[in-house]
Amino acid sequence: MLFDTHVNLHGDIYDEDREDVIQRAREQGVELLLSICDKIENIEKIQSITENTANMWRSVGTHPHYAKDHLSLDCEQLSKLAEPEDVVGIGETGLDLHYGYSDLDSQKQVFQAHIDAAQETGLPLIVHTREADDLTGDMLEAAYARTPFKILMHCYTSGEGLARRAIDLDAYFSVSGIATFKNAHDVRAVAKLFPADRVILETDCPYLAPVPMRGRRNEPAYLTHICEYFAGFTETSFDELAERTTQNALRLFDRIKLPS
């Protein structure tokens, strides 16, 4: 059983065949899905999909790209949005200085609100960081020193320095299709640092389709390719890695209660 811990199935790109996409995932053993909230305006659509899909959960939050549009978002509001039992994470949130869709001050303010909500609710913080290693590390460390909280470094492609800082905060790391890319040497080198009991898998679909599906619209069924590749990379079997990463994810997202 595999757990795709980061899907964006609410995207318009799936409106014509969403049920087929989910069925293909089930056929490939991807039984568990986590639907990620990119902005508050999409919560209703994400909730509707989640409520009508078995073994699917969701997060609440706003991607750093949209921070400038959510400056009123605070810990109280996020915590309230996180009350339903199908909400198992806060985010995705963080800092992204690559595109600059939102200014840094707005990103920092909204990121801090998400950190506060993770501390308030006890739910894991799903962190997106790009070209902001030092500041991301500084904000996480400062908050963690006040009140420890659970951290997921989603689709980790940042440097060794931030990885080591996050490891010291007991963070988890999710591996995506990027690990399979021919030229992703630096990503794979850093992945060797991830503690085995804190690695999980994700597709980040519809983005980042893994080899051999690269160039296509990504979907949860392709998680098998990521698992197969990373199993070889870590010199373990597919089944062992699938079991370990699923159990790691269930430990991290511990609001999820599966039947015995």
Q: Which pLDDT score, from 0 to 100, does residue 115 have? A: 98
Per the structure, the complete domain to which residue 62 belongs is given by 2-252
Decide the pairing of beta strands 87-96 and 125-130: parallel
**H helix runs in the chain, sequence order:** 18-27, 43-51, 75-81, 104-121, 133-146, 160-168, 185-191, 223-233, 238-252
pLDDT in tens, 221-259: 999 999 999 999 999 999 999 999 999 999 999 999 997
CA–CA separation, 113 vs 76, rounded Å?
9
Residue 120 neighbours by CB distance under 10 Å: 16
Q: Is the pTM of this model over 0.85?
A: yes
Q: Which helix (H) or strand (E) holds 201?
A: strand 199-201
User: Considering only CA atoms, which of 198, 202, 199 is closest in space to residue 222?
Assistant: 202
Is 164 inside a domain boundary? yes
Q: Which residues pair with 246 in a beta bridge?
A: none
Q: Which pLDDT score, from 0 to 100, does residue 260 have? A: 67
DSSP state at residue 215: T
Instruction: Provide the domain count of the chain.
Output: 1
Residues of the chain with pLDDT under 70: 260
Is 260 inside a domain boundary? no
What tokens appear for 203 in the block? 């597709």
Q: Which pLDDT score, from 0 to 100, does residue 24 have? A: 98
Q: Which pLDDT score, from 0 to 100, does residue 255 have? A: 98
Is 26 inside a domain boundary? yes
Is 258 inside a domain boundary? no
Is 259 inside a domain boundary? no
For 37, 85, 122, the CA distances from 257, given in Å and listed in that order, are 21, 10, 16
Burial of 196 (0-12, 13-18, 19+ CB in 10 A): exposed
CATH number of the structural domain spanning residue 156: 3.20.20.140
**H helix runs in 28-152, sequence order:** 43-51, 75-81, 104-121, 133-146
